[in-house]
Amino acid sequence: MKKSNSVTAEIVRIGNSHGVRIPKAIREQAGLTGTVTLTVTGGALVIRPKRKPREGWAKQLRQALKDNPEQELLLPDDMGTAYDEEWTW
């Protein structure tokens, strides 16, 4: 786990809004670039890098299957359907 940094920053006026300047070291440690998501949790502002839906799922699945080679899928790869049977006209 990476070391947590704590710094004090001022809320500054930016046009009609307000902002906080995030030091480079903190941005790099948190992986903040480009677009971020902001949420309020328990009275704290949480800033996270914006991720694509399901980003990293394939990598996590490969690792889980590698760690547990006898792991079975909940659904078989080929479930088959009534449409797979021979059709007669």
Asked if 27 and 36 touch (Cβ cutoff 8 Å), the reply is no
Q: Residue 57 falls within a domain, yes or no? A: yes
Q: Residue 19 falls within a domain, yes or no? A: yes
Q: Residue 80 falls within a domain, yes or no? A: no
Residue-number span of the structural domain to which 11 is assigned: 7-69
Rounded to whole angstroms, how far apart are CA atoms 26 and 65? 34
Q: Residue 52 falls within a domain, yes or no? A: yes
Structurally, the chain folds into a number of domains equal to 1
Chain segment 13-69, per-residue pLDDT in tens: 999 999 999 999 899 988 898 899 999 999 999 999 888 888 888 888 888 888 887
Q: Residue 2 falls within a domain, yes or no? A: no
CATH number reported for the structural domain that contains residue 24 in this entry: 2.10.260.10
pTM comes to 0.51
